Amino acid sequence: MRAGGLLAVLVAAVACAVFTSPASAGHPQGKAAQLSLTEGDNASVFSSAVSAAPPLEGKGQNIDLVANVALDPDVGVPGGANDFDFSGSPDASDLELAGDYAYVGSYGQGLVIVNISSCDDPSQPAKCQPFVQGAYPCSGGQFDVQLSPDANIAVLSHESSAASKSCHPNEEGVSIIDTSNKSNPREIAFISDDNPDGTNRSDNQVEDGAHNVTLDWPNLYIDQYFATYPRTEIFSLANPGNPTEIGEIDFTANGGTGPHDSIPDHRPDGKNLLYAASIQKSDVVDINDPTKPRVVQTIIDPQVGISHGAEPNHDRSLLIVTDEYGGGTGVGACGGQQGDATGATPLLPGQAGSGGVGAVHFYRLDPATGLVQRNGTDKAGIFNIPAEANEPAQVADDAGCTSHVFWQAPDQSRMTIAWYGRGTRVVDFSDPAKPRQLGFFVPLGGNTWSAKPHRGFIFAGDIARGLDVLRYRGESCDAWPTTSGNAEDQRAQTQRGGPGTGKPGNSPSGAPGPRKVSGPCRPFTIAQAREASRRLVISRSTQRSGTRKAPVTVRCRSVKPCRGTLRLQARVPRKKGAKGNEARRVTVGRRGFGVGAGKRRRLQVTLNRGGRRLVRNNRRLRLYAFARLRRQVGVATASNTARGSYRLLAPKRSRR
């Protein structure tokens, strides 16, 4: 959540109960924590200026950066909105994963479908070459994404009523999108907040847009946290092209704010609960009858600034609540132990309040009821990252510094979690009083919104960078999230109907359960990531030529065909009397080219008149080749240019 004016929503909460934090809660235990409150030698190193194209750079521990897909309008998403009016936040927000695709929300592009079929073996990270498959072009909203169990329907929240939007100008609401054709997703319905007669909303409309959406197939919960309308509307998508309102949750009597986000839990005992993170509080809702939901518990914790996400862990022994202090803006530093504000440890510049601000909070659940024990006050622990500040460039961009979107392991107390300017974290909270950070990665210039595992990789939506692909390398790659299976199987367990009904083994992908890594898990350095991201390679081996054409051998290392333009240059001495002593480069030929995915091709470039003269007069001529791929080709992991040089041998002259 990065919504302007959010702080105005924060009403000083009157604590209904007094919380006591475990003495050892908060600071992660482990090597990084033993060094100091900062992450010591593992701290991220940034330059003050971040280039426009997201670089494959950053630093961390036990997590490697594998690939990046930029969604910036400067790069262009085929079929996307490419709307420069929203270029301040043009890249990724939330995402969902299913099969060979990532469904990425983007402020500037709408819903972008990224092909991740090559990212299926964490022991071979160099093979991971994601690219944009298609897009639903729109711009200007939060664009939280949810998927149906079969991933053929996507739901996208709109939280901007700007007149300049490329779709639904002056409206907020929810898009229902048919994603069965991944190259050409299309909107089939829109739930709007725009009432033509200017009165209160009519049937099958929302009152005030949608900050987030929660899909409990076929039921859709539309979340909006404003105190002016503290309700969640519930729609049925049994007919996705004709959404029908079936009920609403009224939070007026429970603190005055509606949910920022929510998640359903269909328990083995037959109870159906919805856990809602409602800004100044967290709520538990009985949804046995979605047409008549009722709030059964409200949890108010003065240590939580903004309740951003609330959900039970895998065995329903804990409730997890994340604190998005400040709404993801205005916090230049974060982390540290609970109680740092007392003076025992000086706060970092820009760090607001206690060192526990922006943390993850754990509460003990009653196994019989699913409610927090001791009348909502039974706190088990707190996790926060070591104290650290965002880099100057991130502060200038108002990057956040709090916990944000997370994803849990299906059968153990572990999570991957995005931490805005402080990147992605892997956390073990099997002992909630002493949670441990197992790994982290902070990308250069990043502002990470979401981090979710799928097929052994972690896919991170980043506001500044687009889609990052990461790999957890800790524990010899033999532990979650490296062993994570298909995200759609886990997501189906929480959904009410369709292929996922909460019954074990009911797997949409047909491949349930964790995966074993196929080979050794070696370190994957930034240099290796850059090399793997090169989609086109120009051979540097010596070539022999005639006098009219020069051969160039190129290899396409992409999972998509490589098409573009090739230019040849030669270095020649400057003419006598010209300024400077260095040789100059002249263009000797150019041509378009196409090379199949994974193929090598020997191209013949026709030489111009100057090039032919140089070949005749130089038995050995060094040529410099520059190739630029066309942007409309599916974007893979990095640069669309390639360079190389090689020696050209002229044909042997016949003796007379």
208-228 tens-digit pLDDT: 778 889 999 999 999 887 766
Q: What is the pLDDT of residues 141-154, one digit of tens each?
A: 788 999 999 999 99
Q: Residues 163-180: what's their mean pLDDT?
A: 88
**pLDDT given at position 64:** 94
Give residue 511's pLDDT.
Answer: 54
- Report yes or no: 338 and 278 within 8 Å, Cβ to Cβ: no
Q: Binning pLDDT at 50, 70 and 90, where does residue 87 land?
A: very low
Position 287 pLDDT exceeds 90: yes
Out of 74-78, 453-457, 543-547, 645-649, least confident range: 74-78
pTM of full prediction above 0.85? no
Strands lying side by side in the sheet with 448-454: 63-69, 466-472, 457-462, 448-454
- Please give the structure tokens belonging to residue 140: 């200007």
Instruction: Transcribe 345-395 into DSSP letters.
Output: SPPPTTB-SSTTTT-EEEEEBPTTT-SBHHHHT-EEEEE-PPPEE--HHHH
* Omega before 268 within 30 of 0, i.e. cis: no
Neighbours of 391 (CB within 10 A): 22
Query: What is the reported pLDDT for 507?
Result: 57
**Three-state DSSP state, 527:** helix
In the chain, what are the domains?
Answer: 6-528 (2.130.10.10), 534-649 (2.60.40.2550)
- Least-confidence region, from 31-45, 359-373, 452-466: 31-45
Give the C-alpha separation, 129 to 115, whole Å.
Answer: 9
The pLDDT score that the predictor gives to residue 574 is: 65
**What does the pLDDT read at residue 73?**
53
